[in-house]
Amino acid sequence: MKNRREFLKDAAVGAVLMSAQSKLGLAATTAAKSKVVVARDAALHDASGVLDGKRVQALLDRAIATYTGHDKAVAAWKSIVPVGKVIGLKVNGLGGKGIHTHYELIMAVCERLQEAGVKPSEIIIWDRDAHHLQSCGLTISTDPGKIRVIGNDVAGYEEEGVAFGSAVNVKLAKILSRECAMVINLPILKDHELAGVTFSMKNMYGVVQKPYELHAAGCNPAVADLNCIPTVRQKVRFTIGDAMSSVYDGGPGFHPERLWQPNALIVGEDRVAVDHTAWQMIERKRAEVGMPTLEAANRPPRYIVTAADNAHGLGTNDPQRIHLLEV
């Protein structure tokens, strides 16, 4: 692990690197609109509900190619990730084996990262603890020469807290603060009993020591505030959202009677636009099965609106400012 001086130096360098190297986001959109790609493949699952790994890889390639404008997978990934820096993959296994970031997607991202020149030793797959990682089908690995799979329960949290708004004295995971130059966010799309929807921004609850302290008032404004903390805002730069399976009610835990398969990936840099898009996907499914809207259920994801306001400026929730590409 790095000492505090090295951590602060790398954080500053990382911020400059991300600003200089990113060729995506608003710079790659039309008329200052935030680009979001929704890629679908209705044949991702077989008749028994098992994912086809090859089709997942192909779906990922299509999503990234559409987002970056590069036809070749290697060129596309090189336009996203920095060279010679540690890349973190923040997964989500909180819902258990029934609803988690899919192993096939995680492995597909790892394969393309390595093809783009990221060494195995420069990839960390992480979540809150070993149990959550194992729920994703992963095996814990701390070998520094290989892809590491490690939880915050082992790597630890910073001793000093940081704050933004309602997120007071938040202690960040050292994997985020000290190890990673960039984090690719790999959330799983779910309904949430308090926040309404959990996806890109809510997945950041897995980077703090005591996420249960951030659940008041439907997690609003805590989700937005947490994502405004500089380390989170600067390092978590890209979302590849897993909407291949989802629960449209009763989340964030697994409820098989509320499980459905959108068979989609939602990709983007603007975390607010990504979450707004995911929210609408859940609302359409709820309407399809005759369930009330999240607003009518008294739990709309208000943090999405908060994240887009002038005080936070994390992105846009305005459909007129979202360049949505469905492929």
User: What is the mean pLDDT of the segment spanning 18-43?
Assistant: 67
- What six digits make up the tokens of 165? 């708004």
Closest CA to 119 of 143, 147, 90: 147
Residue 49 pLDDT level (bands cut at 50, 70, 90):
confident
227 closest CA partner among 292, 303, 173, 317: 303
Count of residues making up the chain: 327
For 59-95, the pLDDT digits (tens) are 999 999 999 999 998 999 999 999 899 999 999 999 9
Residue range 237-279, pLDDT digits in tens: 999 999 999 999 998 989 899 999 999 999 999 999 999 999 9
pLDDT over 90 percentage in the chain: 86
Please give the DSSP secondary-structure letter assigned to residue 292.
Answer: P
**pLDDT score of 83:** 87
Amino acid at 324: L
Structure tokens at 293: 């809207």
The per-residue pLDDT for 48 is: 85
Domains, the chain, ordered by start: 4-326 (3.40.50.11440)
Q: Helix (H, G, I), strand (E, B), or coil: what is residue 96?
A: coil
Q: Which whole number is the average pLDDT over 282-295?
A: 97
Max intra-chain CA distance, the chain: 56
Q: What is the pLDDT of residue 219?
A: 97
What the block records as the tokens of 273 is: 């636009």
CA distance 240 to 77: 12
**pLDDT of the residue at 31:** 55
**Residue 231 pLDDT more than 90?**
yes
- The residues with which 183 forms a beta bridge, in sequence order, are 88, 236
Stretch 202-222: mean pLDDT, rounded? 97
**Identity (one letter) of the amino acid at 40?**
R
Asked if 190 and 95 touch (Cβ cutoff 8 Å), the reply is yes
